[in-house]
């Protein structure tokens, strides 16, 4: 599914964040230590190889809402932007911290002159953020930021399951309808 907002293409697809061809930067749903973990972090680190963890080490720890950038090593991308999402019910206010992840990732992408960024649904796995409110925060934040972007021209959400994709699609349809 493709949408255009102020000249920025917003895509929703179902897939694996660790196999996104022709995307300059992929976002990692990281842990504070920027180490290999489960879910997205596991997939990204396994595909990138051990060089990624080595590059990450001096950048850790990061706090909820923060983002840092590294090379992508053996991934088919140029960069990985590592975001630490909030643990639902623990890191508060969780919606603000989650929005900061998306804002800070896009800020770094702009600073680096990156043209395309792929996001997973940060915090909605091991960190327990319910899918709908997380998707609402993620999509509202990205749509608001899209108005300010100069370098980033493509933002892709890579959703793991069919339901994740469907929830994002319905919410984004609603947001776009309200804008027009």
Write out the residues near ligand AR6 by the rule CB under 6 A.
16-18, 29, 31, 37-41, 43, 85, 120-127, 158, 160, 164
- Return the number of the residue (111 or 132) whose C-beta is nearest ligand AR6: 132
Distance in Å, CB of 113 to ligand AR6, minimum: 25
Q: What H or E segment, with its residue span, contains residue 174? A: helix 162-179
Distance in Å, CB of 41 to ligand AR6, minimum: 4
The rounded Cα 129 to chain-centroid distance in angstroms is: 14
Q: Where are the alpha helices (DSSP H) in 36-115?
A: 39-48, 50-56, 94-111
- Return the number of the residue (19 or 151) whose C-beta is nearest ligand AR6: 19
- Return the number of the residue (21 or 180) whose C-beta is nearest ligand AR6: 21
For helices 131-146 and 162-179, what crossing angle results, to 10°?
Answer: 40
Whether residue 93 contacts residue 135, with contact meaning beta carbons closer than 8 Å, is answered with: no
Distance in Å, CB of 11 to ligand AR6, minimum: 14
Pick the closest to residue 130 from 81, 171, 178 (CA basis).
171
- Return the number of the residue (108 or 158) whose C-beta is nearest ligand AR6: 158
Distance in Å, CB of 25 to ligand AR6, minimum: 15
């Amino acid at each position: 599914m493709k949408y255009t907002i102020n000249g920025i293409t917003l895509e929703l697809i179902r897939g694996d964040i660790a196999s996104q061809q022709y995307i300059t930067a992929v976002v990692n749903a990281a842990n504070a230590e920027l180490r290999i973990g489960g879910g997205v972090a596991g997939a990204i680190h396994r595909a990138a190889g051990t060089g990624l963890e080595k590059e990450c080490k001096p950048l850790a720890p990061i706090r909820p809402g923060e983002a840092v950038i590294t090379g992508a090593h053996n991934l088919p991308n140029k960069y990985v932007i590592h975001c630490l999402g909030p643990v639902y019910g623990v890191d508060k206010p969780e919606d603000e911290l989650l929005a900061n992840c998306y804002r800070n990732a896009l800020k770094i992408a702009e600073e680096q002159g990156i043209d395309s960024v792929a996001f997973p649904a940060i915090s909605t796995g091991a960190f327990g953020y319910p899918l709908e409110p997380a998707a609402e925060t993620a999509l509202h934040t990205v749509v608001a930021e899209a108005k300010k972007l100069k370098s980033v021209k493509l933002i892709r959400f890579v959703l793991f399951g069919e339901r994740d994709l469907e929830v994002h699609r319905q919410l984004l349809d609603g947001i776009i309808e309200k804008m027009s």
